[in-house]
């Protein structure tokens, strides 16, 4: 199993790398000299390389003698073996290699991205600015995490082999080059139309953080944070969309220096928007790369969700400059030390930047997404064994990010923010320029808090799953009984009897007096005496705990009778979400859940609505077509009052959050509720908006597009396709693109499917479009057939991570027949999506079909009232 891992007999400390890309031909050549230390005498050196050709190998010791070597590549383990004619003595050597490789088509390693010509009016001048030579419409860019630096230069491509990198890029005179550090030298290469750009040496860091970007690029003016220049880069003609991101970046950089009390580890900070990008963004030290939707935005035309996305991603990546770049996990099993912390710190920073966004409340939605996957028997522990590169990539999931982040938030709330921050500062200071393990974090937090952190945290990080806490009252309401067991939707979890140490915050009303209390529940059951008789209790006060709550019937009754008086929005969110989860798990009947939703007609919180709408959408997926009109009637019944209250236009005094809610309710009413009045209203308002963009609020515009797709036909399709092609902003492009998956006509949906593989839709977006189609009631069977027919082609074209996310769409194929077909397909092709990904999708599908099998009669009975 360790054939993937490199031996520690040879350790690199410094790379000098020179790379010369040829953009039009899609190739590059390179040369590197690596300073290495031989820990023992060896006659061969093993390092990583993939899809590279190694031409010359020499090695030199400090006395100047040069030995030639030969290279052989093993494509399967992605390693190169360098052999030398004699044994090399222990000590310092300089290894020199020349090599060549390809600019990859799968958005990994060193790859090419194509700049789409701008066709819109506003940006017309930029068309002229973009030259017509092919090399000027291409950008060459790197994406190395997790294990693709080895596709750009031979290297020790494991996070623990930290080294200094000194990069030189040789590029055409008309282009720009960016790398991790500032430019320290630039000169023409005699006899060519090329120039050589030399960058300052980096700090000691992991290979996956090295970056180079070459192309026609434009930057904003730099803004300085304690002397560090911060710039946003993009392809020509888009810098007017960079202001918002630059503001967040400047705020976050300053914020983190204060929070961590450690200076920023780079010498400049560039944030670069790349037209084709596999992920959301990548935290290369000093040269963070983004997909365009995550960086470039028009503040006046964007929805609240779109703005939060940009702020989140920018803050997240800048948080990584410390968590990840300065201190790095020793191996991919500890990825959560990077990603959960960046997720947590992203919330802290965005919350400090815009308190009115109530970012931590919305984090409840992310926590719920983690509870969903972690409730599977096929879940995994946050820290999890990784052997092959594919398994490393599968670690970038909701368990690492959202569960990890939620568990950190729970711990922060338990220790108190000051103590927690103190522990974090110690951890970073102790391991800077080096790597760390989870036990190092425990040690630092333990020193800061004087608490047994490993004992408290073990169950949350090293075990899959989480508990459901049941609360009952005894002795005529004078005693509370708390008990715990693992929550799963289906039976079959291995260690169902495991116990967690659960920090429980709760609020009770006793003798008319409300008090907040806490308890660390570490046994199966604990009792607690109250000073009087209980009126009601809210468990998981503030909603920070990573567990579910099950109230005894009498206690639940009190809460649902007066949810708006007793519960805060996040507590209402958790209540809805937990009751829904119990329904999916078969612990409580669907009818009860549907009754509960009736109490929320007056709800004003957007997150609570998110939970309600998600459950309606889920039911829409499992309901037989003949009953769908009744479900639509239920949706109209639940949403109606809120939709009328909010209307179509925001009040001047309204918060961004209310605007967001209006958009989401209109969207759901016009699609899930299939409401004719909202659809007609959307047609009228969209017509006005086409002539006057200020006629509708951005949050409403996004809803109009989705509603019109749902209710529209050929004419709307043609119009939206054109809007996608001519979009003025990345967000607008994305909205119109995704609307193409929301039509219901089979012919139109077939056209959308064709776009996903014919080159018109970028491969960074196509998998997500297929996923939407797989999850849509109108498109799923057709999309599934299409996926089966085109699987090999998709595998070839799409980036690896995209393929994995596309397959999440199978969870929407919720009929017994489709489920059987899905299982047959994946097993006949022996498809693995890395880690436990596929198993989890199949289990989610099983849960949906099981709900249908168990509850369809009850659902029909309940819905009969809407006939």
Cα 174 → chain centroid:
35
Chain contacts with ligand BES (rule: CB under 6 A): 145-146, 279-283, 312-313, 316-317, 320, 339, 342, 393, 396, 401, 801
Structure-token pair, residue 772: 């939407």
282 versus 845: smaller Cβ distance to ligand BES: 282
Instruction: Output DSSP code: residue 514.
Output: E
Residue 342 or 538 having the CB closest to Zn ion:
342
Residue 515: count of CB within 10 angstroms of its CB: 12
Contact yes or no for 150/54 (Cβ under 8 A): no
Count residues binding Zn ion (CB under 5 A): 2
Question: Which range of residues in 19-27, 334-342, 354-362, 804-812 is near Zn ion by CB under 5 A?
Answer: 334-342
Least distance from Zn ion to the Cβ atom of residue 342, Å: 4
Residue 835 Cβ vs ligand BES, minimum distance, rounded to whole Å = 12
| Secondary structure class of 729 (helix, strand, coil) | coil
Q: How far is the CB of 381 from ligand BES (least distance, A)?
A: 19
Sign of the torsion angle spanned by Cα atoms 330, 336, 337, 339? positive
Q: What are phi and psi of 661, to 5 degrees?
A: -60, -45
Q: Which stretch binds Zn ion (CB under 5 A): 84-92, 164-172, 341-349, 607-615?
A: 341-349
Q: CB within 8 A of 159, min separation 6: which ones?
A: 206, 207, 208, 328, 329, 330, 331, 332, 435
Find tokens 């009969």 and name the residue. Answer: 864
208 vs 618, beta carbon nearer Zn ion: 208
Binding partner of residue 765 among ligand BES, Zn ion, none, CB cut-off 5 to 8 Å per kind: none
145 binds, among Zn ion, ligand BES, none (CB under 5 to 8 A by kind): ligand BES
Q: What is the spatial order of strands in the sheet that 525-529 belongs to?
A: 525-529, 479-486, 467-474, 548-551
Minimum CB distance to ligand BES, residue 304 (Å)? 17
Check residue 263 and report its DSSP letter: -
**Shorter beta-carbon distance to ligand BES: residue 16 or 148:** 148
Please, what is the end-to-end C-alpha distance for the chain in angstroms?
61
Nearer to ligand BES, 283 or 674 (CB): 283
Q: Closest approach of Cβ 313 to ligand BES, in Å? A: 4
| The pair of three-digit structure tokens given for residue 41, joined into one six-digit string | 């005498």
CB 139 within 8 A of CB 214: yes
Strand-pair partners of 693: none
Nearer to ligand BES among residue 34 and residue 278 (C-beta)? 278
675-694 as b/e, with b when 16 or more CB fall inside 10 Å?
Answer: beebbebbeebbeebeeeee
The answer for residues whose C-beta is within 8 angstroms of residue 745's C-beta and 6 or more apart is 713, 714, 717
Taking alpha carbons only, the member of 213, 206, 106, 215 closest to residue 151 is: 106
Supply the minimum distance, in Å, between the C-beta of residue 801 and Zn ion: 13
As measured in angstroms, the least distance from the Cβ of 835 to Zn ion is: 17
| Residue 342 binds Zn ion (CB under 5 A) | yes
- Among residues 275, 380, 273, the alpha carbon closest in space to that of 332 is found at 380
Least distance between Zn ion and beta carbon 600 (Å): 34
Active site residue 247: no
Q: Coil, strand or helix: which one is 613?
A: helix
Three-state secondary structure call for residue 459: helix
- For ligand BES, the closer of residues 317 and 571 by Cβ is 317
Among the listed residues 42, 134, 41, 153, the one whose alpha carbon sits nearest the alpha carbon of residue 96: 153
Give yes or no for a cis peptide into 574 (omega within 30° of 0). Answer: no
- Nearer to ligand BES among residue 54 and residue 766 (C-beta): 766
Nearer to Zn ion, 141 or 342 (CB): 342
Residues 6+ apart with CB under 8 A from 622: 814, 815, 848, 849, 851, 852, 856
Q: Is residue 302 part of the contact set for Zn ion (CB under 5 A)?
A: no
Catalytic residue among 16, 292, 317, 383: 317
Q: Which secondary-structure segment (H or E) carries 287?
A: strand 287-291
Three-state DSSP at 375 gives coil
Q: How far is the CB of 387 from ligand BES (least distance, A)?
A: 17
- For residue 146, the minimal CB distance to ligand BES (Å) is 5
Choose among Zn ion, ligand BES, none what residue 807 binds, the Cβ cut-off being 5 to 8 Å by kind: none
d(CA 462, CA 481): 27
User: To the nearest whole angstrom, how small is the minimum distance from the Cβ of residue 544 to ligand BES?
Assistant: 20
- Per the CB < 8 A criterion, the answer to whether 461 and 484 are in contact is no
The partner in contact with residue 550, picked from Zn ion, ligand BES, none with C-beta cut-offs of 5 to 8 angstroms by kind, is: none
Tell me if 17 contacts Zn ion by CB under 5 A.
no
CB of 675 vs Zn ion, minimal distance in Å: 39
Nearer to ligand BES, 236 or 809 (CB): 809
H helix count then E strand count, the chain: 28, 29
Nearer to Zn ion, 321 or 579 (CB): 321
Check residue 395 for interaction with Zn ion (CB under 5 A): no
Task: Decide whether 338 or 583 has the Cβ nearer to ligand BES.
Answer: 338
The binder of 279, among ligand BES, Zn ion, none, by C-beta within 5 to 8 A per type, is ligand BES
396 binds, among Zn ion, ligand BES, none (CB under 5 to 8 A by kind): ligand BES
Which of 255, 426, 423 is CA-nearest to residue 347?
255
Closest of 344, 441, 456, 339 to residue 394, by C-alpha: 339
Task: Look at residue 281 and give the partner it binds from Zn ion, ligand BES, none, a contact being a CB closer than 5 to 8 Å depending on partner kind.
Answer: ligand BES
How many CB atoms are located within 10 Å of the residue 8 CB?
Answer: 12
| From ligand BES, Zn ion, none, interface partner of 463 (C-beta below 5 to 8 A by class) | none
Task: Please list the alpha-helical segments (H only) found in 730-779.
Answer: 730-739, 746-755, 766-774
E-state strands within 75-124:
79-88, 91-102, 109-114
Please identify, among the stretches 336-344, 494-502, 807-815, 852-860, the one whose residues bind Zn ion according to the rule CB under 5 A. Answer: 336-344
Q: How far is the CB of 282 from Zn ion (least distance, A)?
A: 8
Q: Please, which residues have CB within 8 angstroms of residue 767's CB and are 6 or more apart in sequence?
A: 756, 794, 798, 799, 802, 803, 805, 806
78 is in the binding site of which of ligand BES, Zn ion, none (Cβ under 5 to 8 A by kind)?
A: none
- Which of Zn ion, ligand BES, none sits in contact with 855, Cβ below 5 to 8 A by type? none
Which residues lie below 8 Å from residue 220, measured CB to CB, with a gap of 6+? 231, 232, 233, 239, 242, 243, 246
Q: Which is nearer to Zn ion, 319 or 493 (CB)?
A: 319
**Distance in angstroms (rounded) separating the CA atoms of residues 158 and 693:** 50
Catalytic residues: 317
Q: Using CB under 5 A, list all residues that contact Zn ion.
A: 339, 342
């Amino acid at each position: 199993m360790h054939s993937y891992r490199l031996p520690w007999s040879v350790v690199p400390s410094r790379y000098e790398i020179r790379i010369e890309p040829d953009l039009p031909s899609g190739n590059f050549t390179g040369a590197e000299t690596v300073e290495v230390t031989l820990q023992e005498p060896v006659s061969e050196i093993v390092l990583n390389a993939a899809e590279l050709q190694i031409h010359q190998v020499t090695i030199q010791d400090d006395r100047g003698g040069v030995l030639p070597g030969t290279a052989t590549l093993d494509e399967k383990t992605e390693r190169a073996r360098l052999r030398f004619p004699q044994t090399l003595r222990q000590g310092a050597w300089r290894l020199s290699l020349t090599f060549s490789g390809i600019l990859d088509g799968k958005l990994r390693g060193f790859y090419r991205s194509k700049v789409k010509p701008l066709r819109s009016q506003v940006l017309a001048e930029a068309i002229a600015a973009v030259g017509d030579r092919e090399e000027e419409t291409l950008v060459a860019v790197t994406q190395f995490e997790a294990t693709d630096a080895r596709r750009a230069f031979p290297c020790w491509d494991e996070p623990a082999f930290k080294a200094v990198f000194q990069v030189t890029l040789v590029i055409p005179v008309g282009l720009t080059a960016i790398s991790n550090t500032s430019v320290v030298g630039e000169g023409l290469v005699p006899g060519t139309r090329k120039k050589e750009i030399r960058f300052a040496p980096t700090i000691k860091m992991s290979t996956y953080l090295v970056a180079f970007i070459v192309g026609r690029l434009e930057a904003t003016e730099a803004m300085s944070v304690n002397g560090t220049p911060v710039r946003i880069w993009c392809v020509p003609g888009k810098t007017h969309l960079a202001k918002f991101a630059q503001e967040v970046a400047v705020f976050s950089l300053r914020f983190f220096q204060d929070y961590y009390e450690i200076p920023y580890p780079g010498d400049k900070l560039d944030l670069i928007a790349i037209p084709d990008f596999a992920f959301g963004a990548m935290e290369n030290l000093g040269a963070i790369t983004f997909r365009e939707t995550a960086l470039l935005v028009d503040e006046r035309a964007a929805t609240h969700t779109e703005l939060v996305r940009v702020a989140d991603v920018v803050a997240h990546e800048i948080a990584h400059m410390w968590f990840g770049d300065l201190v790095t996990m020793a191996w991919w099993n500890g990825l959560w030390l990077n990603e959960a912390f960046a997720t947590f710190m992203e919330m802290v920073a965005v919350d400090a930047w815009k308190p009115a966004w109530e970012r931590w409340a919305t984090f409840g939605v992310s926590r719920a997404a983690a509870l969903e996957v972690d409730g599977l028997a096929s879940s995994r522990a946050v820290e999890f064994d990784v052997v092959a590169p594919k398994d490393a990539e599968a670690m970038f999931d909701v368990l690492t990010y959202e569960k990890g982040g939620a568990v950190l938030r729970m711990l922060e709330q338990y220790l108190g923010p000051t103590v927690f921050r103190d522990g974090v500062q110690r951890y970073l200071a102790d391991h800077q320029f080096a790597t760390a393990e989870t036990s190092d974090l425990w040690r630092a937090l333990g020193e800061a808090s004087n608490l047994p952190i490993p004992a408290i945290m073990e169950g949350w990080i090293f075990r899959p799953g989480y508990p459901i806490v049941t609360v009952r009252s005894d002795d005529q309401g004078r005693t509370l009984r708390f008990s715990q067991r693992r929550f799963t939707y289906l039976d079959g979890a291995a260690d169902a009897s495991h116990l967690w140490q659960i920090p429980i915050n709760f609020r009770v009303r006793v003798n008319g007096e409300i008090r907040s209390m806490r308890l660390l529940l570490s046994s199966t059951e604990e009792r607690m005496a109250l000073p009087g008789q209980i009126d009601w209790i809210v468990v998981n006060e503030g909603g920070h705990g990573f567990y579910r709550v099950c109230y005894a019937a009498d206690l639940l009754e009190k809460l649902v009778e007066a949810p708006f008086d007793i519960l805060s929005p996040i507590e209402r969110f958790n209540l809805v979400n937990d009751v829904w989860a119990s329904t999916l798990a078969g612990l409580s009947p669907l009818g009860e859940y549907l009754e509960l939703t009736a109490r929320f007609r007056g709800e004003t919180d957007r997150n609570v609505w998110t939970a309600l709408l998600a459950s309606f959408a889920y039911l829409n997926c499992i309901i037989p077509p003949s009953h769908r009109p009744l479900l639509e009637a239920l949706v109209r019944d639940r949403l109606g009052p809120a939709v009328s209250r909010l209307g179509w236009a925001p009040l001047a005094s309204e918060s961004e959050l209310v605007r967001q809610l209006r958009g989401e309710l209109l969207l759901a009413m016009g699609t899930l509720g299939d409401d004719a009045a909202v659809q007609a209203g959307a047609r009228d308002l969209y017509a006005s908006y086409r002539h006057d963009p200020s006629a509708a609020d951005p949050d409403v515009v996004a809803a109009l597009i989705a509603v019109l797709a749902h209710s529209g036909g050929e004419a709307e399709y043609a119009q939206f396709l054109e809007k996608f092609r001519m979009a003025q902003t990345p967000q607008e492009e994305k909205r119109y693109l995704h609307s193409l998956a929301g039509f219901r006509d089979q012919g139109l949906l077939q056209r959308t499917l064709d776009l996903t593989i014919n080159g018109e839709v970028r491969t960074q977006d196509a998998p997500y479009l297929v996923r939407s189609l797989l999850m849509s009631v109108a498109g799923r069977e057709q999309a599934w057939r299409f996926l089966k027919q085109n699987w090999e082609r998709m595998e070839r074209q799409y980036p690896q991570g995209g393929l994995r996310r596309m397959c999440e769409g199978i969870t929407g194929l919720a009929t017994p027949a489709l489920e059987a077909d899905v299982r047959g397909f994946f097993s006949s092709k022996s498809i693995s999506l890395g880690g436990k990904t596929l198993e989890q999708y199949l289990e989610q599908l099983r849960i949906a079909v099981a709900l249908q099998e168990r509850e369809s009669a009850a659902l029909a009975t309940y819905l009969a009232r809407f006939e």
